[in-house]
Structure 1
Amino acid sequence: MSDVTSCTTDSGIGYIRMNRHTALNALSVSQVQLITKAMKQLVEDSGVRVIVISSTVLNAFSVGADLKERLELDSRAMMEARGSSVAMTCALLDVEVPTIAAVHGLALGGGLELALTCDLLIADRTASFGLPETGIGIIPGGGGTQLLPRKIGSGRAKELIMTGRRIDADEAYRYGVVDVLAPGGVSAAGHADAVAITIAAKSATAQRNAKAALRGSQYLTLADGLALEDQLWRVSAVTPDYREGLAAFSQRRPVAWPQP
């Protein structure tokens, strides 16, 4: 089995599954490049409506950077590896369709940052989270210093990054790191599947436009954000999807979205 596999279901759900069992999905250069490649392949598939990133490793989503590999890299190789990491983060953040991280077990360092690039972070109660980088003389470099404060606020992000403290799923949910906590006895992957099915059943065009508007809310002033929302509403209002949605509603029948 490859360290990373990807596939698309008939219902329009794309999956990226990390399978590096021998290293708890530590993010080696190869692993990072495989994730980037898998994501780009799914994005190019016009039938993909939502993407789920998960792990098949029993006790971990990902423990972050492969530190054993890093020990063997000279400065030049370290900077080349850094380029691959930045490329992965950018590729994940640039995805237009909704993305979900299904997290169980350890999500540390770059593993947590990988999950933070997704629109929704769904976890079960086996999950634990932390950004321990300052304890080994480095800072979070997969978006952690930028994505975490935007998600949970500056104060809490500072506390987690500066202390490197590990938190369990319940505390992560209270902090807002976790968006959806799977019900007791339900795995993160299982609950993420259910959420993905719900998302995939909606208009793909509307989901893309909603995601673009939501992203704007994080970086724009209110006035600019409202202008973006208006622009994207106007774009959505003249699509075949909206016409079909209105027709299905008025005729009280299941919606049949046009092919993208």
Structure 2
Amino acid sequence: MEFGTYETLLVEQRGSALLVSINQPKSMNALAAAVVEDLHALTEVLSRIGVDAHWPVRGVIITGVGEKSFVAGANIVEMNDMDPAAALAYGKRMHSVTLALEALPIPVIAAVNGFALGGGCELALACDFIYASASASFGQPEVNLGLVPGFGGSVRLQQRVGISMARELIFTGRRIKSAEALRIGLVNRVLEDNAALLAAAEETINEIASKAPTAVANVKDALNEIAGLNVVDGLEAEARSFVKAFETQDSVIGRAAFVAKSVPDFPGN
């Protein structure tokens, strides 16, 4: 599959994983309007990915080029010239990117290799989970500029770490290192350096690629829905997901392979 070429992104298929690197190291990979537009264009391409055996890509890894920054945040120089209407359009465009990442039927891992501040932290939060290098740092520092999170941080940070911790981080604008991010549940794993970070992300994508693709897509969709529900409504959503799984060939093949003590060959339908 062709994923296109982009002015601000490097896109490379590595086995089952698609590695997307934000390539603006001179600006610490800040989310300038051009970067947001490239991310939007890429997510439109990715939205056509299916889960059957025809599609070799089974997961996406998002990282930043260079040793210092994943994404340092929004582009404040550009924002300085925005009026409220332009700021709203900028934020809404990034919302469409993050929602598209959440809607993909394949997992998305943020491989945070340095600063993930403001919009960078919000981009990472839109991924299914986050791996970080030992030197990475996270924060929502918008209050330092008289601003508030505009790319989803107010919503997703409290879902990830709880409302009180999210409030503390957003109210103070405090920056935390990867070890603290791991402790509070913002990060899944901390790796020694950038090479180990990408290797771990690729290994996880490869592991997920061996599972039933329809099941991964189904449960990702269900988890996204359940995140905003109470227990009763969440159980109803889970029941719908469970029934949907039983209607797939992947489920038929997977159950039969378990009984036969063989390795299933999932068709992805």
Q: Does residue 84 of structure 1 match 2:93?
A: yes
Aligned to 1:150: 159
Q: State the match for 1:239 in structure 2.
A: 248
Match of 1:217 among 223, 226, 249: 226
- Which digits, 9 at most, give the CA deviation of each residue in 1:217-248, with x for residues without a partner? 32111111111111111111121101221233
> Judging changes above 3 Å, is the alpha-carbon distance between structure 1 residues 220 and 73 closer, same or farther for their aligned structure 2 residues?
closer
- What corresponds to 2:3 in structure 1? none
Q: Secondary structure at the match of 2:174?
A: coil
Separation of aligned partners in 1, 2:155 and 2:143: 15
Q: 1:185 to 1:208 in 2, by over 3 A?
A: closer
Are 2:236 and 1:227 aligned?
A: yes
After superposition, what is the alpha-carbon deviation per residue over 1:59-112, rounded to whole angstroms, capped at 9, x for unaligned?
Answer: 110001011122233444334323322222322233232211111111100000
Tell me the residue number matched to 1:26. Answer: 30
Counterpart residue identity of residue 122, structure 2: E
**Given residue 21 of structure 2, which amino acid in structure 1 is its aligned partner?**
R
Counterpart of 1:14, as a letter, is L
3 and 227 in structure 1: CA distance in 2 versus 1, 3 angstrom threshold: same
Cα 1:76–1:153, aligned 2, differ >3 Å: closer, same or farther? closer
Cα distance in 2 for partners of 1:53, 1:39 equals: 12
CA distance in 1 between counterparts of 2:102 and 2:255 reads 31
The yes-or-no answer on 1:2 pairing with 2:7 is yes
Encode CA deviations 1:124-167: one digit per residue, 9 max, x unaligned: 21111111100101101111111111111111111111111110
1:134 and 2:131 equivalent? no
Identity of aligned residues (%): 33
Tell me, in whole angstroms, the C-alpha distance in 2 between the residues paired with 1:234 and 1:183.
Answer: 42
Do the aligned partners of residues 42 and 211 (structure 1) sit closer, same or farther apart at CA in structure 2, a change above 3 Å counting? same
Q: Distance in 2 between matches of 1:10 and 1:125?
A: 26
In structure 1, C-alpha distance between the alignment counterparts of 2:42 and 2:135, rounded to whole Å: 26
2-structure distance, mates of 1:219, 1:30? 32
Q: Distance in 1 between matches of 2:68 and 2:204?
A: 22
**TM-score when scaled to structure 2?**
0.89
Whether the aligned pair in 1 keeps the contact of 2:46 and 2:104 (CA below 8 Å) is: no
Gaps of 5+ in 2: 1-5
How many residues are paired up? 259
- The root-mean-square deviation of aligned C-alpha atoms, in Å, is 2.0
Alpha-carbon distance change, 146 to 185 in structure 1, aligned in 2, over 3 angstroms: closer
Check the 8 A contact 2:29/2:65 in 1, yes or no: no
1:94-173 to 2 correspondences below 5 Å: 94-173=103-182
Runs (4+) of structure 1 moved beyond 4 Å?
A: 183-186
- Does the Cα contact within 8 Å between 2:250 and 2:268 map onto a contact in 1? no
Q: Is 1:197 the equivalent of 2:206?
A: yes
Secondary structure of the corresponding residue to residue 227 of structure 2: helix
Q: TM-score, normalising length from structure 1?
A: 0.92
Secondary structure of the residue aligned to 1:219 is: coil
Q: Give the SS at the match of 2:170.
A: helix
With over 3 angstroms needed to count, the CA separation of the structure-2 counterparts of 1:77 and 1:238, relative to structure 1, is closer
- In structure 2, the residue matched to 1:180 is 189
